[in-house]
Structure 1
């Protein structure tokens, strides 16, 4: 009989612990995966891959108490030796290896990808087919540490602002967005769909907690295969009550972006350096009306307006170019989208009901956020549904929430993979998606 009293203290050290000055010259124990072995005659460098990066071990023939032949790439090992400083080594330290214990060995002699190279010179398909192997490359995995930082900043910032984290169902009877782009399934002999958004649920929860957020997958059955679209992606959503206008939502997102860049600069310096990322300036972000910016871009770049009710990808690029040239900003809020292109719950502009009190946030030529003020009046919601010829079936519980009173509120959804993609400088959203789901990919 024994009792567990907490975390087991390990005698193996991590890179941050090894970098403490008092450790230099001491005998230390570490573990890790053999990333690569560089033979230099009587000396070899055994590079270990650990959660915080790379660690250099030095094997000396006749001095180290093991045979180099016993160690292979992709082995996981435990090693002991003397810690020394070396400016040329990763993180400026190395271990003069005295002994090694093999923890596990690969079953295959050959790695499918040359993960020890600084950059994986292979196709995107190859990287995705061997995703869990490709991500062992230092640059590849750094992208997802940056993505972790974005998500962490979103959570931490909103906690500080009094938001409550919620978890909404992904199987439902009715979609918030409507339309044909739905994954339909049978749910115990009843028709159901995978949710395109947590929108209806997070609005309902504003009546409970005032401010709520969620980070979760959403599903879009769109039959396209572009560099910017996925059929499953992670959405960073929040909804907040007692707003004075949709400008409060844009201001909250600006605050998040400021918090995010500060956190990345503070805690993710290693990954920023590996990826050569320059963080954007988010001290202030311009906001401009949809109809106005379309006209400005049309005039400046001599481009005819083809669709007066939406933005085409080329227009998003030009709007971002305009924002950079005119206001020196990588971000730009485009506000007052046409009502016919927004969902039924979007609040129409009382001054001109052809437009809504809503916005998109563009970042370096791509929409990464959609948000705005919602209708909070029960009768107004019913009238909007009727005007659009929409059935209320499946919306009963949602509408009942408004029947019993709701504060003025609004919110947004941020595409995590898209934001990561633009931040790290990739041009395909699959590069910043752990295991992408698109028209052709259902594995791994």
Structure 2
């Protein structure tokens, strides 16, 4: 098994450094115990009569940690392998400086000094297991450095008291712990690699299932429509009555229009729909919704609409936005076949005050299980009985929201009943954008 020196590459040769930046930041709360331990060691060395040497060591450590922090700040979230060489160099420098302090405490020979030296060694080992096991080059360096530090401590014991029983016992114990530590660290590394491989395989299978389901659904829908078109055209060609021929041609035309509508929905869910975004008041966009929704809802359903006052204009395609809202209302209706309350709220997004408008729809249905919260947005996936849903509604809504530079979230209501779907859309046009300009996905 080979180890990569950096996090794994994707197909484009790019490396994801986001996890490295999160875990390796030198000035963060989880590193506080190690910093406290280093401070105690520094104080002990200074009290021992070496304040100048301790001051130099502290300056070197602070500089190395500062360089590592700068390297992490300059590191992009994604980049090539060359971008990660700086953080590897600063990691090695910091590790060497910390190891020098631990070795100096061990050579001092006092019980307290050697206890703190062992604590530093244990801290380095735990850091290698928790953080460095995600890398390759960093982990190999940490294992070699820890092994050398252990052997140097053992060598110093044999240099000072080669025939002492304590030397034999401490040496055997340290060697046993070193072997066990290396074994556990490597096992952790292999387990993480195996887990990553399993996750990648499951994701690939999920993508394949989704693509198979999508292509099968598209082929099935268009085959049905073409059957209707071709069948009616064949019958119209054989018909001798003008009225019958006209009726058959009208039926073929309706099927063709359904095909055009299906194509529009497929473009929407693929983020390639032709949108005409304009800056318009949310209240104006919501005006026709009650009338249109009444045609979709049954007698047992109740739709409450709440639009906050003084909202900024939303920058989106009004027709497609209304279609997306009606699609969500239809899904909420189907989730409550016996009736219930649907709440539609429009207000300022708390995540981007003044920059986005939030549309939120809540129903009182049975809710969506957690294991299906991501699957419901896949094309042709539906929880409705066969023949009652095409599985394109929610994917179309998500495609429209994302193409409009928005963000969509699906949430379960407290208590497990009902679903809340919310999406944020930009509250104003981007610089240089103009109302009514056709927007195509790039």
**TM-score > 0.5, shorter chain as reference:** no
Instruction: Provide the TM-score with structure 1 as the length reference.
Output: 0.21
Normalising by structure 2, report the TM-score. Answer: 0.22
Structure with greater strand share of residues: 1
Structure with the higher fraction of residues in helix conformation: 2
